[in-house]
Amino acid sequence: MRDSSRTSASVIWDSFLLRCPRCGTGHTFAGLFKINPICEHCGLQFERESGESVGGMYINLGAAEMFTVGGFILFHTLFNLPFVPHLIFWVIFNIAFVVIFYRHSRSVWMGIAYLTRNHEPEAH
């Protein structure tokens, strides 16, 4: 059951900080790229269906492209840097950003899934 005292913003913020969207205490990741199956504090199952990670990939891709294209345009406009070295830097930045931001984007997607779904076990 969703804790009604928690706002959507606090759920997303806790998710961004790699904490459980329900309790804000447990950790969503067990390692660099391994998602915990359930929260060690409140028992929330983080991924209930296969394919739930697709939304996190879209968040990751959108953020990476926003920062890469925005940064390229901003720095190219302000500093008039040579095109090829500038382009190489931003391609490397984009690749690094996608890898570094992966856990945060997946965790934020788990928070969004938590906000939009009933996470109580189904009665049989």
Burial bucket for residue 14 (CB in 10 Å: 0-12, 13-18, 19+): buried
Q: 62 φ, ψ to 5°?
A: -60, -45
The one-digit pLDDT tens for each residue of the chain (124 residues) are 456 678 999 999 999 999 999 999 999 999 888 999 999 999 998 877 777 788 899 999 999 999 999 999 999 899 988 999 999 999 999 999 999 999 999 999 999 999 988 655 544 4
Tokens for 32, please give them: 């660099």
Q: What is the largest CA-CA distance in the chain?
A: 65
Cut 0.85: pTM above it: no
In which residue are the tokens 């998710």 written? Answer: 15
The per-type count for the chain, helices as H runs and strands as E runs, is 3, 0
